[in-house]
Amino acid sequence: MKTKYAIVFICFVALVIIEKEINIISRVSDRLIKRQSPHQTPQTPQDESNITQKHLLTVLKVLPSKRPASQGNRTNFSEEQDEELDDSDMYSYSGGRKHVLLMASTRTGSSFVGEFFNQHGENMFYLFEPLWHVERMLATAANNATGLGWIYRDVLQALFLCDFSPLEKFISPPPNNHVTPALFRRESSLSLCDEPVCSPVNKDVIERYHCKIRRCGPLNLTLATQSCLSKQHHTIKTVRVRQLDTLQSLVQDPRLDVRIIQLVRDPRAILASRMVAFSSQYKTWKAWAQGGQVPENDEEVKRLKGNCDQVRISAEMGLSQPDWLRRRYMLVRYEDIARYPMEKAEEMYKFAGIPFSFQAREWILTNTQTTKEASGIYSTQKNSSQQAEKWRFSIPFTLAQVVQKVCGPTMKLFGYKFVDDERTLINKSISLLEDKSFY
Ligand SMILES: *[C@@H]1O[C@H](CO)[C@@H](O)[C@H](O)[C@H]1NC(C)=O
Ligand SMILES: *[C@@H]1O[C@H](CO)[C@@H](O)[C@H](O)[C@H]1NC(C)=O
Ligand SMILES: *[C@@H]1O[C@H](CO)[C@@H](O)[C@H](O)[C@H]1NC(C)=O
Ligand SMILES: *[C@@H]1O[C@H](CO)[C@@H](O)[C@H](O)[C@H]1NC(C)=O
Ligand SMILES: *[C@@H]1O[C@H](CO)[C@@H](O)[C@H](O)[C@H]1NC(C)=O
Ligand SMILES: *[C@@H]1O[C@H](CO)[C@@H](O)[C@H](O)[C@H]1NC(C)=O
C-alpha cells in the first residue's frame, strides 16, 4: 500500500506540472499528500496496475485540453442572437451533427435509455460507457478518480469528434496498431458491430470477439473512426461524469452541437437495485437490511449522501440554465420513461434535434410492451411501470428511511415522495412519484 501511495504522489506532482487546472488537482493531491505514510518505500515496478509515472504522463500528453479553453471561439454570439437562432443553427460548424451525452449514474436505467439512441438506425454512432477504461486506469493510479473530471471531458470531446486516440491510451492491454479485442461492451454499440467496422471472422475464432448480431474480429479503431465520421449523429452514454460543470468547454466547443440528457431515478430504488447488482460491494447495506441501527456517520452512508448531492448539484446547475447550457440540458426521470417510454423518447429526440426514426420506435414498441391505441396515442401496459416499482418490496423500510434522510433534498428536487411507514412503502395504490416537469 505504501508503495502505491508513493507512486500516486509522484503521478500527482507530475499532473500538477502538466496541467494548469490546479484548482481541481490540488484538492485531490492535498488529500493524497495527507494520506502519505511517514516512511515512504521506494517505487518498485511491481505495482499491480502496471501504471508507471511514465505511462500516466504519456496518457495525459495526448489529451486535447492542451489548447486554451475553447470558449473563445464563440464569445461573440450575443445572447440576443442566440434567442433568435433556431436550435439547429446555433453552431453552424457542426454541420448539422448532433452530439448527445446521456449522463446518468449506475442503476438508473441508462443502458435501456441508451438503446433508444443506439437503435436509431444507420445515421447514429453510439458508444456505451467508453469512460469505463479511463476510470479503471485512473482509479488504480489515483485510488479515487473524483476530481479528475477534466480527463473524462477531454476523452469525450475527442470521441464526439471521432478521435479514439485519447481513449486508446487508457485501454489495457494497449491496442496494437489501433486494433483491440478489449473495448468495453463493444457489443452494446450497433455501429461497432455493423459493417464495415465488423470484420467477419471464421467460425473457429474464439467466442469473445463476437458481437451479438454477428461474429466480428477484434475492433479496428481506424474503421471505427471512419464509421463515426460517416454518421450524422453521435451519442455517448456514461455513468462516470459526476459534475455537469466539468463539461462546460465540451459544450462550448464550436465544432460540436452537444445536448446533455441527465437521467435520474429515485435514490431509494437505486440503492435497492445496487444491493442486488453489486452484491459484494454492498455487504454493509445488506447487513443493515437484516436489522439493527444504521450508523449515520458510516462511510457507506456518507458515500450515498455524496452521490445524491452530486446528482442534485448537477441537476440544479442544468435546470438553472446558465448561458452555456441554455437549451442544451434536459432532465429525465427513469420513472417517467418506464410509464411513458414512447412519449419520453419522442421528447428526448426532439430535444436532441434528431428525427425520431422508425427503427427506434419499433425497438421501443417491442421492448417496453407499449401498445399503439386506435387513437394513435401510445400507452404502456402496467407491467413496465410495475417493473420500475419492484424495489418498493425489496428494500427494508429502515433503509428507505436512511435514504430519505441523507438524500432528502435530491428527492424533493426530483419529486420523489417520502414515506412515513412501511405500509405506505409497499402499498401499490400509493404513487411515490409527483407529477413534475423540468423545464
Ligand atoms: C502487468 O505487467 C505484467 C508483467 O509485466 C503482465 O504479466 C500483466 O499482464 C500486466 N497487467 C496488465 C493489466 O496489463
Ligand atoms: C463581434 O461582432 C460584432 C458585429 O456583430 C463586431 O462589431 C465586433 O467587432 C465583434 N467583436 C469581436 C471581439 O470579434
Ligand atoms: C474521492 O474524492 C472525493 C473528493 O475529491 C471525496 O469526496 C470522496 O470521498 C473520495 N472517495 C474515496 C473513496 O476516497
Ligand atoms: C484497420 O483498418 C484500416 C482502414 O481500413 C486499415 O488500413 C488497417 O490496415 C486495418 N488494421 C489492421 C490491423 O487490419
Ligand atoms: C411482466 O413482464 C415480465 C417480463 O417483462 C413477465 O415475466 C411478467 O410475467 C409480466 N407480469 C405481468 C403481470 O404481466
Ligand atoms: C393503500 O392505500 C389506499 C389509498 O390510500 C388505501 O385506501 C388502502 O386501504 C391502502 N391499503 C393498505 C393495504 O393499506
Q: What is the pLDDT of residues 374-386, one digit of tens each?
A: 444 444 444 567 7
- Is the CB of 143 within 6 Å of ligand 3? no
The C-alpha cell that represents 194 in the structure block? 455493423
The closest of 213, 206, 167 to 190, measured between CA atoms, is 213
pLDDT at 148 (0 to 100): 78
Mean pLDDT, range 147-155, rounded to an integer: 88
Closest CA to ligand 3's atom 6? 146
* Cα-to-chain-centroid distance, residue 347: 20
pTM reported for the whole predicted model:
0.74
More confident site: 238 or 21 = 238
What pLDDT, on the 0 to 100 scale, is given for residue 23?
A: 44
Count CB atoms within 10 A of the CB of residue 240.
Answer: 20
pLDDT band at 65 (very low <50, low <70, confident <90, very high): low
Q: Are 348 and 330 in contact (CB under 8 A)?
A: yes
Residue-level pLDDT at 209:
54
Sorted by sequence, the CB contacts under 8 Å of residue 147 that are 6+ apart come out as 24, 25, 27, 28
91 and 74 in contact (C-beta within 8 Å)? Answer: yes
Q: Is the pLDDT of residue 90 over 50?
A: no
Q: Which amino acid is at 109?
A: G
Helix (H, G, I), strand (E, B) or coil at 310: helix
Q: Which residue has the least CA distance to atom 11 on ligand 3?
A: 144
Q: Of the ranges 74-78, 191-195, 318-322, which one carries the lowest mean pLDDT score? A: 74-78
What pLDDT is stored for residue 202 in this prediction? 61
pLDDT at residue 56, rounded to an integer: 59
Ligand 6 touching residue 427 (CB < 6 A): yes
The residue ranking higher by pLDDT, 51 or 214, is 214
Q: How far is the CA of 387 from the centre of ligand 5 (A)?
A: 8
| pLDDT for the residue numbered 383 | 58
Give the containing element (helix H, strand E) for 235. Answer: strand 233-238
Confidence of residue 37 (pLDDT cuts 50, 70, 90): very low
Instruction: Quote the mean pLDDT of the chain.
Output: 80
pLDDT at 21: 42
- Residue 198 has what pLDDT? 87
CB 330 within 8 A of CB 261: yes
As a whole number, mean pLDDT of residues 168-178 equals: 95
Probe target for ligand 6 pocket from 419, 426, 429, with the most ligand atoms within 8 Å of CB: 429
Q: Quickly state the pLDDT bin for 199 (edges 50, 70, 90).
A: confident
| Grid cell at residue 388 | 420500475
Tens of pLDDT, residue by residue over 424-436, are 999 999 999 999 9
Q: What number of other Cβ atoms are within 10 A of residue 373's Cβ?
A: 9
Q: Which residues line ligand 1 (CB under 6 A)?
A: 50, 172-173
User: Angle at the Cα of 143 (from 138 to 146), degrees rounded to 5?
Assistant: 70
- Tell me which residue of 261, 251, 259, 234 sits closest to 97, measured CA to CA: 234
Q: For 92-140, what is each residue's pLDDT tens digit?
A: 477 889 999 999 998 898 999 999 999 999 999 999 999 999 988 887 7
pLDDT of residue 8: 58
Cell numbers for 348, please give them: 428526448
Chain segment 257-309, per-residue pLDDT in tens: 999 999 999 999 999 988 888 888 888 898 888 887 888 889 989 999 999 99
Phi, then psi, of 405 in degrees rounded to 5: -70, -50
